Amino acid sequence: MPSMQAMQQYVLPNALSFAEVDGVVIAQINTEQAQAEISLQGGQVLSWIPKGAEPVIWMSEEAQPTVGKAMRGGVPVCWPWFGPHERKADFPAHGFARVADWACKGSQLLDDGSVSLLLELVCDGGSKWWPYATLLQVEFRIGTKLEINLSSRNLSDRAFVISEALHTYFQISDIEQVSVSGLEGVSYHDKVTEAEVQTHAGEIRFASETDRVYVNSPATCVIHDPGLKRKIVIEKSGSDSTVVWNPWFTKAERMGDLGAEGWRKMLCVESANAFDNVVTVQPQQSHSLSVVYSLL
């Protein structure tokens, strides 16, 4: 864990401070535009609340900062693989970045009133999980919009292949009332039924456990939420897959960490590169995945 003293240089008076909670350092942003919390463990956004709005990011009521464990909710960073490891069943699901200690490398109050925060994770190439020297950076810009840019720079002399996701849990009024547009006619792998690749015509609506990886889906998605009288707009670049996930009560019961009825109030629309869209990064080259979240 970085020392609180080391974090002092990144404090922005009246905009950004740091707190230590149960051994985890959390950046706290509070401006005229928004409140947000970002954990340096995992580089995980824990909350983002534009001023005057309901929280946009969902976090389980049962989640507590815990060393070595991603919190259920927020925006976990899945990297360098999405889901289970392709060959190694004992490697951590969704990679190791979501529980690693990230270092703070910069903070700034920008002219438009938003705050930027830069975190970094250096992989030295000596890990059994990831034998490639890599510089992973995540830059957040927190204001009336939330921007996240995840960049992977290959510092080794061999190409590597990654899959990845910004595994965002959005807060919604009721899973049975919302819909998602932007994925009409796009092929998806269904992780619940394991059926052949399929498509659907209209917006997505939810009536049971849903766990789909839409491939070749770089377009903007929108969550329509009449209950909260808002739309959440998910714009992205460098992301060709979109994962749509809600565990429903069936899987939520097995998971046990979503809180009472938590499954009803959350929907993951993850900007990813997975399945057909894994990314090869050549030596000394970088790949970036970016999202911009906003409300309408």
Q: Which residues are catalytic?
A: 167, 270
Q: Is 265 in the site for ligand BG6 (CB under 6 A)?
A: no
Is residue 59 a contact residue for ligand BG6 (CB under 6 A)? Answer: no
Q: Please, what's the largest Cα pairwise distance for the chain?
A: 54
Supply the minimum distance, in Å, between the C-beta of residue 216 and ligand BG6: 17
Spatial contact of 77 and 97, defined as CB atoms under 8 Å apart:
yes
Among 37, 139, 164, 270, binds ligand BG6 (CB under 6 A): 270
How many other C-beta atoms are found inside a 10 Å radius of the C-beta of residue 270?
25
Nearer to ligand BG6, 10 or 245 (CB): 245
Q: State yes or no: residue 166 binds ligand BG6 (CB under 6 A).
A: no
Dist CA 203 CA 209 (whole Å): 16
Tokens of 176: 């049975």
CB closer to ligand BG6 out of 143 and 182: 182
| Binding status of residue 169 toward ligand BG6 by CB under 6 A | no
Give the integer Cα–Cα distance in Å for 107 and 128. Answer: 32
Alpha helices in 149-293 (DSSP H): 248-255
Q: Taking CB under 6 A as the criterion, which residues in 174-233 touch ligand BG6? A: 191, 211
Reduced to 3 states (helix: H, G, I; strand: E, B; else coil), residue 11 is: coil
CA–CA separation, 37 and 23 (whole Å) = 15
CB of 258 to ligand BG6, least distance (A): 10
Q: Report if residue 164 touches ligand BG6, rule: CB under 6 A.
A: no
Residues lying near ligand BG6 in the complex (CB under 6 A): 83, 93-94, 167, 191, 211, 243, 245, 270
